Chain A
Amino acid sequence: MIRRAAGRVLPPLLAFLAANLLWETAVRVFDVPAYLLPAPSRILAALVTHAATLGRALLVTGHAALLGFLLSALLGVVAGVAIASARWVQRAVYPFTVFLQTVPLVAIAPLLVVWFGFGIAPVAVAAFIVSVFPVIVNTVTGLRSVDPALVDLFRLYRASWAARLFKLRLPAALPAIFAGLRVAAGLAVIGAVVGEFVASYAGDDAGIGMLALTYSRESHTDRLFAAVGLASLLGLALFGAVSLASWLTLHRWHASEQEQVR
């Protein structure tokens, strides 16, 4: 058990350390100026020095990203059910969900400020806009891929619409829905950070995006790297949480969450 866990954790950890060592050496040997590319040791130092500011920013961004993600999960599944339930809903609504996917977030972020003011609301909405599409698409795909024989079985026993949805179609679609949620987790963080570029104040409640913008203007590249690194960690954490939920829900019955035994 421990050996297996080590076999999983060790290779990426070693690769990470090796890459950083190479980076550190290269920066020192070629004497790269810190405002262009700071050495990992400098980034670490910046991280420690500004831990309080960065930590607070991480909480602010995390809060908005989580809110946007939960909104995506809820509304995305509901929209997916509506779209998969009737052809006319699909024809009426689907094109506009594609619009959500292709809309340039940076361009409409100012609009979100107009509508929702500054603060967490427009940032959460930005996170929602970029992360809802994969949830909708995967929910629709999952609901559409239900075994036709099982649909027949439920028809044979005259199951109600609600029984078909909650006892057959949604459970059968869960693996696909979780696949969508995983993608959405990473996107929600990206959406939140981009949203903050436009919609948050530089101040006590500045998020990671706002900090990154400030550091970039001030050429504090080491702090910028620290902020970006923390944003990635946030995405990873959200992704990990969704993966855990997926495993807990599916591992007993679905192949996607079972160890391959050969």
Chain B
Amino acid sequence: MTPGRAAESSPAIRLRSVRRVFPGGVEALAGLDLDVAAGEFVALLGPSGCGKSTLLRLVAGLDRPQGGEVAVGSPAGAEHRGVGYVFQDAHLLPWRTVLANVALPLELAGVPRDARAAAARAAIAQVGLADAATRLPAALSGGMRMRVSIARALVTAPRILLLDEPFAALDELTRHRLDEQLRELWLASGMTVLFVTHSIGEAAFLAERVVVLSPRPARVLADTRVGLPGRRDALLRTTPEFVELTRRLTAVLATEGSASR
């Protein structure tokens, strides 16, 4: 999967002048434009509470904008099928085993038992948890639960994967390992990934393209192509190119931060 090929096809996600105001007058989005090409890995980087999550919910079809247009899927249409969503925390059903949790989306879609168990096992193996399939969420570590949550999003083989600060609550080492795994998954699958984060390092490490957002209401401050190699490992974080990229992103966020204060 080469990012170059993906960029040529029609956008998988297209937002035009999207506006979302919450009751009480809080303006999360005031006319935001964003295009994400099919197969692209885009990180949305911005401070907490800037409207990133709102944007992701709109793309997932969990929320509606008051103005503008949200088109998901190619050919562009209001079709939300084939979207996987990973929340800030794992949000598993505590009374279900790992296998039953991962099979849930297929169960809700009416897929027969055997077929959904097979697909769930495959998704669990993809995130490296094959041994834990029969365990309950309470018996897992935070990182493992998050991987189950990712397996649940992958089980329908979605063409678009949306992640809302999925690793923010984990320790740094676990987070780095999951970042690498997610990157591998993307390289192997060719999905379109929209990843929301407030971590500069995470955005730079994961994405092909980083979109920096301002504090509420969110505007696009910078839209940067990452230009790092396709395969990435832990040591990438120490290379001059990576450091230079994070410096640039930090500078964008810092100027905006001081301007808005």
Q: Which residues of chain A have a CB within 8 Å of any CB of chain B?
A: 147, 149-150, 152-159, 163, 167-168, 171-172, 252-254
Contacts and interface: CB of A to CB of B under 8 A. Distances in A.
Interface of B: 57, 60-62, 80, 83, 85, 87-89, 91, 93-95, 104-105, 107-109, 136-138, 156
B50 to A, nearest CB: 19
Contacts of A172: 93
- In the complex, the 5 A-B pairs of residues with the closest C-beta atoms, listed nearest first: A253-B94, A157-B108, A149-B91, A159-B108, A253-B95
B91 A158 contact: no
Given A149-B87, A149-B89, A252-B136, A156 B95 contact: no
B93 A168 contact: yes
Contact of A155 (B62, B87, B93, B95): B62
A253 B109 contact: no
Contact of B94 (A159, A163, A254): A254
Nearest to B87: A149
A163 B108 contact: yes
Contacts of B107: 167
B62 A152 contact: yes
14 contacts: A149-B87, A149-B88, A149-B89, A150-B93, A153-B85, A153-B91, A154-B108, A156-B60, A157-B156, A158-B108, A171-B93, A172-B93, A253-B137, A254-B95
Interface centre among B62, B83, B88, B89 (most CB of A within 10 A): B62
Contacts of A168: 93
Contacts of B138: 252-253
B134 to A, nearest CB: 12
Contacts of A167: 93, 104, 107-108
B105 A157 contact: yes
Given A157-B104, A167-B93, A252-B136, 5 more contacts: A149-B89, A152-B85, A157-B108, A158-B109, A254-B95
Contacts of B136: 252-253
Given A156-B60, A156-B61, A156-B83, A147 B91 contact: yes
A155 B91 CA distance: 14
A29 to B, nearest CB: 56
Contacts of A163: 108
A156 B80 CA distance: 9
A239 to B, nearest CB: 24
Given A149-B87, A152-B62, A252-B136, A157 B109 contact: yes
Contacts of A252: 95, 136, 138
A46 B61 CA distance: 72
Contacts of B60: 156
A152 B109 CA distance: 15
Contacts of A155: 62
A154 B60 CA distance: 12
B91 A150 contact: yes
Nearest to A258: B138
Nearest to B107: A167
Contacts of B80: 156
Contacts of B109: 157-158
Contacts of B91: 147, 149-150, 153
A136 to B, nearest CB: 23
Contacts of B89: 149
B219 to A, nearest CB: 26
A89 B93 CA distance: 28
Contacts of B137: 253
A240 to B, nearest CB: 23
A150 B95 CA distance: 13
A156 B109 CA distance: 11
Contacts of B85: 152-153, 156
A254 B94 CA distance: 8
A154 B104 CA distance: 9
A150 B108 CA distance: 13
Contacts of B105: 157
A253 B136 CA distance: 7
Contacts of A152: 57, 62, 85, 87
Contacts of B104: 153, 157, 167
Contacts of B62: 152, 155-156
Contacts of B108: 154, 157-159, 163, 167
B110 to A, nearest CB: 10
Residue from B80, B83, B85, B108 with most neighbouring chain A CB atoms (10 Å):
B108
A253 B138 CA distance: 7
Nearest to A163: B108
